[in-house]
Amino acid sequence: MKSNSGFQLRQGGPSVYERSWVRAQLAQSAEELVAAADVASGDRVIDIACGTGIVARTAAARSGGTANVTGADVSAEMLDTAARFAADAGLDGITWIECDAAEIPVDDARFDVVLCQQGLQFMPDKPGAMAEMARVLKPGGRLAISVWKTRSPIGTAFATVLDRHFGDGTTAPWEMVYSLGDRERLHDLASGAGLLDAHVTFDVKFARHPDPQAFITGAIAGSPIAETVAELSETEHDRLIGEILAELSHCHDDDGLAVPAECLTLTARKQEDRFVLTM
């Protein structure tokens, strides 16, 4: 049975999500995550909670198309969008599978690398998902996972304004974004799954948005609150956008918005098989 991550997009949302969030915020982070796992030619790679496929595409491109890459997500619409963007990039060889991260339908020890960018925090059964990622790793295989550490200025602005307009329930999906930003919890999840050499690094990512109003409008349209906001009148919608931009005034410069976001990256490996020589 597939579990609901709590961060589901309306129909058409994945394409908007790619344009508004992925290209500005997650594309560079995908490069760094793939590098952290040292994806190489010939590797078998799986991108868990792949969304619109930016990490899978990055892994395939980094290997020169020689890696065997799979993208997995619980959302069929996300996967359809991911396949379309991959085809547009000339990366037709990526395999896409619809599944829950806690029930990946592949054999044990199938992949050299498991990647998950900004997905683990949304999974209801985090220990189960980590155990499943460890299961599908080959002995000696590498894992790299990223999560947001604390609420970014964008997250704060959205939560403040949405709560003002709609109440607490509307902001719940946004709070999940930052729900796993604890180094010790990541270490515990890795060790609980039997992974070795767990290492967590802290970094601050910057995203630039030359047209702040277009970004905020697109970010809402590509989020779980899109249908709620769509019910507003044009005047109410414009007021909502204006209030979010006002909350972000401290992030404006002459080139638009420059927004920092704190990120944690976990790397670990699966123990290699031990062979005992008997005489």
Whether 242 maps to a domain, the answer reads no
Taking Cα atoms as reference points, which of 37, 5, 4 lies closest to residue 266?
A: 37
19: part of which helix (H) or strand (E)? none
Whether 217 maps to a domain, the answer reads no
Domain membership of residue 110 as a residue range: 13-150+179-210+259-269
Whether 278 maps to a domain, the answer reads no
Per DSSP bridges, beta strands 44-48 and 111-117 are: parallel
* pLDDT tier at 116, thresholds 50, 70, 90: very high
> Are residues 25 and 204 in contact, defined by beta-carbon separation less than 8 angstroms?
no
Taking Cα atoms as reference points, which of 202, 177, 198 lies closest to residue 186?
A: 198
Q: For the domain that residue 48 is a member of, what is the CATH number?
A: 3.40.50.150
120 has a pLDDT exceeding 50: yes
- Count of beta carbons in the 10 Å neighbourhood of residue 145: 30
Taking Cα atoms as reference points, which of 50, 138, 57 lies closest to residue 93?
A: 57
Q: What burial class does residue 90 get, using C-beta atoms within 10 Å of its C-beta: 0-12 exposed, 13-18 middle, 19+ buried? A: exposed
**Structure-model confidence comparison of residues 123 and 222, the more confident one:** 123
Say how far apart CA 145 and CA 156 lie, in whole Å.
Answer: 23
Whether 239 maps to a domain, the answer reads no
E strands, the chain, where? 44-48, 68-73, 95-98, 111-117, 137-148, 196-209, 252-253, 256-269
Domain count along the chain: 1
Min mean pLDDT across 7-11, 223-227, 232-236 is at 7-11
Rg (CA), the chain: 19
Mean pLDDT is highest, among 3-7, 104-108, 177-181, for 104-108
**What tens digit of pLDDT does each residue of 48-96 get?**
999 999 999 999 999 887 889 999 999 999 999 999 999 999 998 999 9
Whether 111 maps to a domain, the answer reads yes
203 has a pLDDT exceeding 90: yes
- Residue 2: the pLDDT is 45
**Residues recorded for the chain:** 279
High-pLDDT (> 70) share of the chain, %? 93
- Residue 222: the pLDDT is 74
**What tens digit of pLDDT does each residue of 228-277 get?**
888 899 999 999 999 999 999 999 999 999 999 999 999 999 999 875 45
Whether 173 maps to a domain, the answer reads no
| Tokens found for residue 5 | 């991550």
> Are residues 133 and 143 in contact, defined by beta-carbon separation less than 8 angstroms?
yes
Whether 108 maps to a domain, the answer reads yes
Whether 123 maps to a domain, the answer reads yes
